[in-house]
Amino acid sequence: MKFFYIRVSSREQNEARQLEQANTLGISKECIYIDKESGKNFNRPEWQKLINILRFGDELIISDLSRLSRNREDIKNCWKMLRDKGVNITVLNMSILDTKQYTQMEGIGQLISDIVFELLSWMVDEERIRIKTNQKAGIAEAKKNNIYKGRPPKYHKYAVGADKLVYDAIIEGLNSNISIKELSKQLGVSRTTIYKIKNEINR
């Protein structure tokens, strides 16, 4: 069977792009697992359910390697665990990381797959470090010049795409007197974010 795993870093982030990929591939709803959790470890409820379901010959599809984790060692350990179970892995933004294409290459297929994976997992880790370094440098410079205002809001009236749809849904829900608790549950957005939007429109 084919399974699709989706992870976003927090309840304020939107999984729409990854869901669209899963739907395009024709993955059935019951085979899509979504976590709104940090990638710092694998203690995620939907991930734990998924790995207990995966069996030999199944295929796990992810949007990119960082959906598994942001840590290189964790990615490597997870990859080995899945391969030891006989699960094929497809990484959509790295077509070379599709383990099915190596299964017919007797003797060297696994070796090629492992070498390619080693290289690309290193790239993911390096990218994570680069982004964090640049963010810290940018924040330090902004603070130095007294222009740092913190992270900009994700959902606002000038947002675009899926973020604007979520914002409009929040506004519509508030206008319909739906409770903030219920809105948070329906939209997968934190209560804090909804309170901020409510305060803005009531000014």
In the predicted structure, residue 105 carries a pLDDT above the cut 60: no
**Mean pLDDT, to the nearest integer, of 131-136?**
61
- In SS3 terms, the chain reads as CEEEEEEECCCCCCCHHHHHHHHHCCCCHHHEEEEECCCCCCCCHHHHHHHHHCCCCCEEEECCHHHCCCCHHHHHHHHHHHHHCCCEEEECCCCCCEHHHHCCCCCCHHHHHHHHHHHHHHHHHHHHHHHHHHHHHHHHHHHHCCCCCCCCCCCCCCCCHHHHHHHHHHHHHHHCCCCHHHHHHHHCCCHHHHHHHHHHHCC
Residues 138-154 have pLDDT tens digits of 656 666 666 555 566 77
Residues 54-96 have pLDDT tens digits of 999 999 999 887 888 877 778 878 888 888 898 988 888 776 6
- Mean pLDDT over all residues of the chain? 78
Q: What is the pLDDT of residue 169?
A: 85
pTM (two decimals) = 0.55
Residues 20-51 have pLDDT tens digits of 999 999 999 999 999 988 777 888 999 999 99
Domains contained in the chain, CATH given:
2-112 (3.40.50.1390), 142-203 (1.10.10.60)
